[in-house]
Amino acid sequence: MSNRFHAVVVVAAAVALTGFAVPARTAPAASYSGRNSEWVGRLLTRVPDWDCPSSPSASDARPPKIKADTCVRDAYVAAAVLQAWAAECYSRFDQDERATQAAAAMATELDRADEECSSAPSVGGGGSCDTSGIYRCGERR
């Protein structure tokens, strides 16, 4: 059962990154309470239209959709949001070890996004990244 849920999370994350369209809905409240929970909750409240599967074997998961085309750091922020979503979903099904691992991966992706803030200008000279409204440079400091 947990392997199937893990597969659903991985497939759903891949779908989110490919831009598959889903109907707009309000994001549910986050309930993950482990390490890095503050940022899991913050990131998930900043992106609409996501939900965890209704059961570990269900295929009705809706990962967050994130536009991430302007800057290199966008990819890291998008990955962090998907890891936050995974942490939340694992937590809802009492898969605490996987939830903690996903939350740690989220923090690592945010660190990588912060590293890009000083070293990589936006593509096209726009000066702002698509994901700046989700996570600003150095926001966790």
User: What is the spatial distance between Cα 6 and Cα 22, in angstroms, rounded to a whole number?
Assistant: 21
User: For residue 15, how many C-alpha atoms fall within 13 Å in the half-sphere facing its CB?
Assistant: 16
List pLDDT tens digits, range 95-128.
999 999 999 999 999 999 999 987 545 444 445 8
What pTM, to 2 d.p., does this model score? 0.76
Integer angstrom CA distances of residue 129 from 15, 41, 65, 113, 138: 22, 21, 15, 11, 14
Lowest-confidence pick of 28-37, 80-89, 103-112, 120-129: 120-129
Instruction: Please calculate the CA angle 34-96-6 and round it to the nearest 5 degrees.
Output: 125
pLDDT exceeds cutoff 80 at 13: no
Q: Which residue has the higher pLDDT, 140 or 87?
A: 87
pLDDT value of residue 140: 86
In DSSP terms, which residues pair with 62 in a beta bridge?
A: 51
